[in-house]
Amino acid sequence: MAMIIKGKKRLSGEVEIESSKNAILPIIAASLLTDDEVRIRKVPNIKDVTTIMQIIKILGKQVKEQERQIIISGKLMNHHPPYELVRQMRASILLMGSILSREGKVRISLPGGCAIGNRPIDLHLKGFHGLGANINFDNGDVIAKGRRLKGNHIYLDYPSVGATENLIMAAVLAQGDSYIENAALEPEIQDLANFINSMGGKVTGAGTNVIQIQGVSELHGSDYTPIPDRIEAGTYMLAVAATGGQAVIKNIIPEHLKAVSAKLEETGVEIKEYDNHLTVKRDSYIKPVNIKTLPYPGFPTDMQAQFMSFLSCARGSSIISESVFENRYMHVQELQRMGAEIKIEGRAAIIKGVKELTGAQVKASDLRAGAALIIAGLTADGSTILTGMEHVERGYEGIITKLNALGANITQN
Ligand SMILES: CC(=O)N[C@H]1[C@@H](OP(=O)(O)OP(=O)(O)OC[C@H]2O[C@@H](n3ccc(=O)[nH]c3=O)[C@H](O)[C@@H]2O)O[C@H](CO)[C@@H](O)[C@@H]1O
Ligand SMILES: C=C(OP(=O)(O)O)C(=O)O
């Protein structure tokens, strides 16, 4: 399946943002921490949610899916998520902490690398070990065992989002108190902590770099709505700005988009923030800027590719430095095929703005590379044919419908 984008349409209107992919995935993983009923509302219709739901059904959980809601209940019958599903989604590793916590053991395939880099899980495993689990490897799987984990101080060498989430889930039913030091600060971690606390957990300090988890003997059900997706929102902000348009981005938490909004303003884009929406408008040329991706509250790596497409037509040269993942430049060669002038030097990309991009046949290698190529196609002269749509579907609900409602001309074949 390919997406055909006829470029040079100025976007305008309103777009509604869904719940966050990176919040709902750990929340679904944490629903395994109780047998009681967990109801999650405003569920986005994206492939990653379908995949994790397939996995937890196979693990024995009862699942009811109603319009935009999922209701999860019942016992875990299995501690071994199947390889075929796990390999489709890196976030499957987030099931490790909660299964270990509930079952005293978990076996899961090592996720390996992916298009954006190596992505080891050493920090997750070091943390589980610190909580008293034994870790072994067999046939490409990692096995963690520990009847009742014991609270401890865990220092993370790097504020890994996934390791922080996995360790919160492992520690929540442990004996005694745990402290995660140098924890990640991402809003999705606060959302996971809020969800666990709504189930009777005792997690404090989420959103700071020391998170305290007071172990409890059991958790109960909950009814929860995850936070809006700051990366989906940022992607639409960039799409509108790239086309020189003007739009309202609805159902967001503007605070979570500070780094993106500030950089856009530096390029000359006008952003106005309100309680739960913002407006974006560009009516002048794009000033070049320099960006370094960093853990939150720094500029998000998940917005790097989209920003690069935007800067491809800036008036002058910009430098983007990717410090989170070592190989997140797979979109560059595709942007070059559309006429962008980008040079990679180590971890930096030097983007010399060109007057305009031209449509080409390009391929998405990962989720955000796909989003970046869509943005490039929206601004380009002529038609862009994008393949690798399955990556985009992992994280963007109805992206063609939403962009066309803003005035884009996108079809699928
Ligand atoms: C489902 C989800 O929420 N995914 C997000 C999560 O991924 P994820 O949780 O995988 O990202 P991490 O914060 O763990 O990774 C950041 C860096 O730490 C390294 N690392 C991580 C763990 C580990 O044990 N050892 C190690 O070296 C990684 O290789 C990477 O270079 O945060 C990333 C960074 O904001 C985002 O790009 C992803 O969209
Ligand atoms: C890298 C991403 O996701 P994941 O960690 O699930 O691969 C992303 O959302 O951009």
Q: Is the CB of 394 under 6 A from ligand 2?
A: no
Instruction: List Cβ neighbours of 329 (8 Å cut-off, separation of 6 or more).
Output: 322, 344, 349
Alpha-carbon distances, residue 279 vs 10, 32, 243 (angstroms): 15, 38, 15
Model confidence at 403, pLDDT cuts 50, 70, 90, reads: very high
**Ligand 1 centroid, distance to 180 Cα (angstroms):** 16
Encode 164-199: b = buried (16+ Cβ within 10 Å), e = exposed. Answer: bbbbbbbbbbbeeebbbeebbbbbbbbbbbbbbbeb
Domain boundary assignment for the chain: 3-18+228-412, 21-224
Reported ipTM: 0.99
Model confidence at 112, pLDDT cuts 50, 70, 90, reads: confident
Alpha-carbon distances, residue 309 vs 8, 121, 354, 405 (angstroms): 14, 30, 11, 21
What digits encode the pLDDT tens for the residues 308-367? 999 999 999 999 999 999 889 999 999 999 999 999 999 999 999 999 999 999 999 999
Q: In the predicted model, is pLDDT for residue 115 greater than 90?
A: no
The residues that bridge with 271 in the sheet, in sequence order, are: 280
Q: In the predicted model, is pLDDT for residue 116 greater than 90?
A: no
Based on C-alpha coordinates, what's the Rg of the chain?
Answer: 21
Under 8 Å between Cβ of 226 and 20: yes
163-169-174-180 Cα dihedral, nearest 10 degrees:
40
Q: Ligand 1, from 160, 189, 347: best to mutate by most atoms within 8 Å of Cβ?
A: 160
Whole-model pTM: value is 0.98
Q: Ligand 2, from 367, 368, 390, 393: best to mutate by most atoms within 8 Å of Cβ?
A: 367
Take atom 15 of ligand 1 and give the residue whose Cα is closest: 160
Q: What is the C-alpha to C-alpha distance for residues 82 and 105, in angstroms, rounded to an integer? A: 15
Q: Is the CB of 367 under 6 A from ligand 2?
A: yes
Q: Is the CB of 154 under 6 A from ligand 2?
A: no
Smallest-distance ligand from the CA of 162: 1
pLDDT at res. 372: 98
The residues that bridge with 321 in the sheet, in sequence order, are: 292, 348
Q: Is the CB of 52 under 6 A from ligand 2?
A: no
Take atom 10 of ligand 2 and give the residue whose Cα is closest: 302
Smallest-distance ligand from the CA of 301: 1
pLDDT at res. 118: 86
Take atom 7 of ligand 2 and give the residue whose Cα is closest: 90
Q: Is the CB of 330 under 6 A from ligand 2?
A: no
114 is catalytic: yes
Q: In the predicted model, is pLDDT for residue 298 greater than 90?
A: yes
CATH architecture of the domain with range 21-224 = Alpha-beta prism (3.65)
Q: In the predicted model, is pLDDT for residue 265 greater than 90?
A: yes
Place of tokens 């989906």: 232
pLDDT at res. 91: 95
Find the catalytic residue in 53, 114, 319, 405.
114
Q: Which two tokens stand for residue 137?
A: 């490897």
Residues with CB under 6 A from ligand 1: 22, 25, 91, 117-124, 158, 160-163, 184, 301-302, 324-325
Q: Which two tokens stand for residue 412?
A: 């699928």
Q: What is the C-alpha to C-alpha distance for residues 153 and 229, in angstroms, rounded to an integer? A: 31
What is the pLDDT of the chain when averaged over all its residues?
A: 97
Please state the residue numbers annotated as binding site for UDP-N-acetyl-alpha-D-glucosamine.
Answer: 90, 119-123, 302, 324
CATH class of 3-18+228-412: alpha beta
pLDDT at res. 33: 98
pLDDT at res. 190: 98
Please state the residue numbers annotated as binding site for phosphoenolpyruvate.
Answer: 21-22
Under 8 Å between Cβ of 192 and 167: no
Q: In the predicted model, is pLDDT for residue 113 greater than 80?
A: no
Omega before 226 within 30 of 0, i.e. cis: no
Q: What is the DSSP letter of 326?
A: T
pLDDT at res. 234: 98
